[in-house]
Chain A
Amino acid sequence: MPTGFGWNFKTQYKECFYEHNDYREWDFQTAVYEKVNDRVARITLNRPDKRNAFNDRMFEDLAAAMHKANDDPDVRVVIIRGAGKHFGAGHDLSSPEGEESPPVHPSVNPTMQDYYGFERRRCYKYDDVTDYPKITIAQVHGKCIGASQIFAASCDIIVTAEDAQFGIRGFGSQLHGLTQYPLWPLWSNKAYAGRAITEMSGKEAAELGFATKSVPLDKLEAETLRWAQVLSNLPSEAVAVTKEWIGGMQDIMGMGGTQRAHYHGHTGLQYVRFRPEEVNLYKEKRDKGLKGFLKDRAETATPKAAPKEKK
């Protein structure tokens, strides 16, 4: 599946793999699917050496796992968590050529039509989680940024470690309307939570209503299972209808346009010109590699005077 830095596009009519996959006999390479008990399925994103960053395969494994859980008549609740130290670091920007995960380099010079196809595939997959007919719980620890943050936001419940990190300076907070109303759109005053940097801890996230519950890291798994256990008592059809109702109202309130506006933002990346003093995404990655780019981005997104209040 082509795209990524320095790729050639074909047309927008490329078959979208994860829309047509069949989870039966699926070989889960980058995610683990298990059943905690009859009613609770758990999906573990499993690329810990890459901080569970999403490459194409992990998107497919996640989709296959969610389909599998949905078609299991006993499952009522699905937990999504990350192996290793983090929930997820977003898209894998180091993905090799042939992958859709990194942003498209402008030198590829795609046509608008090609680019739309790509961006729609990129952005609409979160809707599968938002519209999922069973209860979803994101179990978050470590970094939860970029695409990973959008996935967590799309779940019904977020149980998080107190010291998890939502959002990252230099990239912002990927809430995209999928959260508490006073925080949406981003830049309502409560969202700033006392400072203008769009990072927040798990504890803060729960305070603001972006996450549901925060606990010390060592209690995270037990707490998540506690929530899964109690919610698995709800009548399954009633849950499906209620989720459809809430999701429908979110659309009516304007959040149906969330992912469309999201990919409009991405499209801009094709045409931006960096100011001389700015960290140039493409040049930096070429000259300093991914790590160098991320470091410089974070530094330039930090104010000269450090805020005094603790997180």
Chain B
Amino acid sequence: MSTILYEKVDGIGYITLNRPEELNAMNDEMLAELDELLPKIEMDLDVKVVVFRGAGKDFCAGQDLTGVKTYEVLSEPGEHLTIKKRMEAERRRNRRWEYIFNLAKPTIAQVHGHCLGTGCYLSMVCDITIAAEDAQFGDPLLRMGLLPHMPLWLYLVGIKRTRELLLTGCYIDGIEAEKIGLINKAVPRDDLEDEVNNMAKGIALMNCDALAPAKDAVNSVMEARGLGACWRFTNDMQLVMQQRTMLPEEFNFFDVREKKGLKAAIEGRDAPFKKFCEER
């Protein structure tokens, strides 16, 4: 395993996203390793609680946007795929989040640095998120003409803040994230690891058979509140989004990436919003 590291300590399973030079951006390789690891952890009765964290300076900056070996995170425009294939692709991409949300063990996201896009989604599907005060949470997908495909936005922060954050794509820090209900707790960066370990150890005192139904009870309520339908609806709307017309005067992320490279594409994407978000 290279892009995912795993260690088991005192009943706690630590999963480390390990592409620090790329800010732990998610690509096919990382997700394949995760897909293989998670069912094994779920069956391991000696693991009571799972911690997700990131190597290096960030938790996870989201999808790898290079377009190279990133089929699992991004559908590229110009793909010649049938509707059926597209549907299957979206379902597989999103089911991963649903699976982690429903993992039969409690999950804790330990967030520092950037936590954006699908990185933010990972922290949202974890049961408990503890972050550094200066961590940066955000979802800039709409700027690239992509659907911000995480239904938990509405459940966690409500209608007004969901619309605000998804339309502006602005980042918020850990303190604001705690205030609006996106995360459980923001702590000084130096205290982050201890806080998470403390939470994990406390939970690890209990046996799996107590923790699993306790978690399932809350997830069942969410299912009843429409989350199950929302996962499916989200897949369908991603298909609709793929049919969008890109007007010539609008910023075209994929076009700019092809002509000028990824860095220019990201800068071009963020430029119109930079000042606004700084002064927000």
A40 interface residue (CB < 8 Å to B) = no
Query: How many residue pairs at the A-B interface have CB separations less than 8 Å?
Result: 118
Contacting pair B167 A252 (CB below 8 A): no
Q: How far is the CB of B33 from chain A (nearest CB, A)?
A: 30
Q: How far is the CB of B194 from chain A (nearest CB, A)?
A: 30
Partner pick for A241 among B151, B240, B250, CB 8 A cutoff: B240
In the complex, how many residues of chain B place their beta carbon closer than 8 angstroms to a beta carbon of chain A? 40
A246 interface residue (CB < 8 Å to B) = yes
Say whether, besides A230-B168, A253-B154, A238 and B160 are in contact (CB < 8 Å): no
Say whether, besides A135-B167, A157-B163, A178-B159, A249 and B146 are in contact (CB < 8 Å): no
B143 interface residue (CB < 8 Å to A) = yes
A179 to B237, CA, bound (A): 22
Q: How far is the CB of A1 from chain B (nearest CB, A)?
A: 32
Residues of B near A181 (CB, < 8 A) are: 154-155, 157-159
Residues of B near A241 (CB, < 8 A) are: 147, 237, 240-241, 244
Residues of B near A216 (CB, < 8 A) are: none
Q: How far is the CB of B169 from chain A (nearest CB, A)?
A: 9
Q: How far is the CB of B43 from chain A (nearest CB, A)?
A: 33
A239 interface residue (CB < 8 Å to B) = yes
A211 interface residue (CB < 8 Å to B) = yes
| Contact string against A for B residues 174-194, beta-carbon threshold 8 Å, 1 for contact and 0 otherwise | 000000110000000000000
Q: How far is the CB of B192 from chain A (nearest CB, A)?
A: 26
A231 to B164, CA, bound (A): 10
Contacting pair A209 B160 (CB below 8 A): yes
A233 interface residue (CB < 8 Å to B) = yes
B68 interface residue (CB < 8 Å to A) = no
Contacting pair B237 A156 (CB below 8 A): no
Contacting pair B226 A252 (CB below 8 A): yes
A236 to B246, CA, bound (A): 8
Residues of A near B251 (CB, < 8 A) are: 233, 235
Say whether, besides A245-B234, A253-B225, A156 and B244 are in contact (CB < 8 Å): no
| Contact string against A for B residues 130-171, beta-carbon threshold 8 Å, 1 for contact and 0 otherwise | 000000000000110111100100110111111110111000
Partner pick for B159 among A179, A235, A244, CB 8 A cutoff: A179
A210 to B160, CA, bound (A): 6
A242 to B146, CA, bound (A): 9
A230 to B140, CA, bound (A): 14
| Contact string against B for A residues 236-260, beta-carbon threshold 8 Å, 1 for contact and 0 otherwise | 1111011011101110111000000
Nearest residue, chain B, Cβ from A158: B160
Residues of B near A245 (CB, < 8 A) are: 147, 233-234, 237
A182 interface residue (CB < 8 Å to B) = yes
Majority secondary structure, A binding face = helix
B82 interface residue (CB < 8 Å to A) = no
A183 interface residue (CB < 8 Å to B) = yes
B247 interface residue (CB < 8 Å to A) = yes
Nearest residue, chain B, Cβ from A252: B226
Contacting pair B143 A242 (CB below 8 A): no
Nearest residue, chain A, Cβ from B239: A241
A212 interface residue (CB < 8 Å to B) = yes
Contacting pair A179 B160 (CB below 8 A): yes
A253 to B246, CA, bound (A): 31
Residues of B near A231 (CB, < 8 A) are: 167-168
Residues of A near B145 (CB, < 8 A) are: 235, 237-238
Q: How far is the CB of A165 from chain B (nearest CB, A)?
A: 18
Residues of B near A156 (CB, < 8 A) are: 163-164, 167
Residues of B near A178 (CB, < 8 A) are: 159
| Contact string against B for A residues 155-194, beta-carbon threshold 8 Å, 1 for contact and 0 otherwise | 0111000000000000000000011111110000000000
A158 to B161, CA, bound (A): 10
Interface positions, chain A 64-111, Cβ under 8 Å from B, are: none
Contacting pair A230 B272 (CB below 8 A): yes
A304 interface residue (CB < 8 Å to B) = no
Nearest residue, chain A, Cβ from B229: A252
Residues of A near B250 (CB, < 8 A) are: 235-236
A182 to B142, CA, bound (A): 25
Q: How far is the CB of A133 from chain B (nearest CB, A)?
A: 12
Contacting pair A242 B230 (CB below 8 A): no
Contacting pair B154 A246 (CB below 8 A): yes
B245 interface residue (CB < 8 Å to A) = yes
Residues of A near B143 (CB, < 8 A) are: 234
A212 to B167, CA, bound (A): 12
Q: How far is the CB of B139 from chain A (nearest CB, A)?
A: 11
Contacting pair B151 A212 (CB below 8 A): no
A226 interface residue (CB < 8 Å to B) = yes
A156 to B165, CA, bound (A): 11
A sample of 17 cross-chain residue pairs with beta-carbon separation below 8 angstroms, ordered by A number, consists of: A156-B164, A157-B160, A157-B163, A209-B157, A210-B160, A227-B276, A230-B168, A233-B273, A238-B145, A239-B167, A241-B237, A242-B142, A244-B237, A246-B159, A249-B151, A249-B154, A250-B159
Instruction: Give the 7 A-B CB pairs with smallest separation, nearest first.
Output: A180-B158, A237-B244, A252-B226, A233-B272, A230-B276, A245-B237, A181-B158
Additional A-B contacts beyond A156-B163, A241-B237 (18; CB < 8 A): A157-B160, A178-B159, A179-B158, A179-B160, A180-B158, A182-B158, A212-B160, A231-B168, A234-B143, A235-B142, A235-B145, A235-B246, A241-B240, A242-B147, A246-B154, A249-B226, A250-B154, A252-B230
Interface, chain B (partner A; CB < 8 A): 142-143, 145-148, 151, 154-155, 157-164, 166-168, 180-181, 225-226, 229-230, 233-234, 237, 240-241, 244-247, 250-251, 272-273, 276
